[in-house]
Amino acid sequence: MRLSLAYSPCPNDTYIFHALASGLVRLPEIAFDITLSDVERLNEAAAAKTPDICKVSVAAAASILDEYRLLRAGGALGRGVGPILVAHGATRLEDLDGKPVAIPGRRTTAALIFGLLCRERGIAPKPVELVYDQIMPAVTSGQCAAGVVIHEGRFTFAEHGLARLLDLGAWWEEDRGLPIPLGCIVMRRSLGLDLAHAVTTAIRASLAHARQHPEASAQYIREHAQELDPGVIAQHIATFVTEASLDIGPDGVAATLALVAEARRAEGLGEPPRDVFA
């Protein structure tokens, strides 16, 4: 059997999936056709029900639960890891009302949380969808008044002459008392629970291999990383690959269900199915 597997070129994903992608970890009688894409392209692919297994933003997962279940491994979740709103130093949050603000795609968790904050604060910026690595240049050039940065942007925004206006992840954590669920792995429901459990086990084995043999995945990670500085790559992996990437755990389940509920309310959808997780 061949299964399509899609994830991002970000270091946390390439670190987790390298052993599986390179055949160092195998599933009996299963082969993977692998695609690497920007997070919002992955969200769009899953919305179109194209891949069998896909890394998506948790916010995007909310609207595809009729077709997919969430796996308990391979995702990104934690505290102090959320998106950051950046701007030039003198900018205030209220200054963004009616102004263009760059977001890394309307289906992303970052965009959802920014929208929740704006509604709470009574402001209505104009979202501008950009690929995540184009956001800081758009703010630096003045094309956008601010930008919601994710991934490597958390560590490099000061190099672009930008300041942190607000830590959106910290706002969510303080408001909800829960970690922030950023991304998750979804798998087509029609493939069944037994195969979902097998794939989950394989993802865990792939991550374990990366931890035991970090030199094996180093070249694969560098080939796909937007930021090539070794220190930034290492910081990215340390930040976004946590014990929750092995198993989401009870707090992670609660946080994910809370964010899924917010996303479904924002889209006018009903209650999610009971079996969100495989």
Residues that are catalytic? 151
CA distances (Å), origin 13, targets 94, 134, 138, 220, 249? 35, 20, 25, 11, 19
Rg of the chain (C-alpha set): 18
The two tokens of residue 61 are 């997962």
The encoded tokens of residue 274 equal 């009971």
* Whether 68 contacts 188, CB under 8 Å: yes
For the chain, what's the residue count? 278
Which sign, positive or negative, has the C-alpha torsion 238, 10, 74, 205? negative
Q: Tokens standing for 14?
A: 């390439």
Which phi and psi (to 5°) does residue 241 adopt? -105, 105
Q: What six digits make up the tokens of 88?
A: 């030039």
Any alpha helices (H) in 157-248, and if so which ranges?
A: 168-176, 193-212, 214-224, 230-240, 243-246
The candidate with the shortest Cα–Cα distance to 181, out of 271, 233, 251, is 251
Give, for 147, the enclosing helix (H) or strand (E): strand 146-149
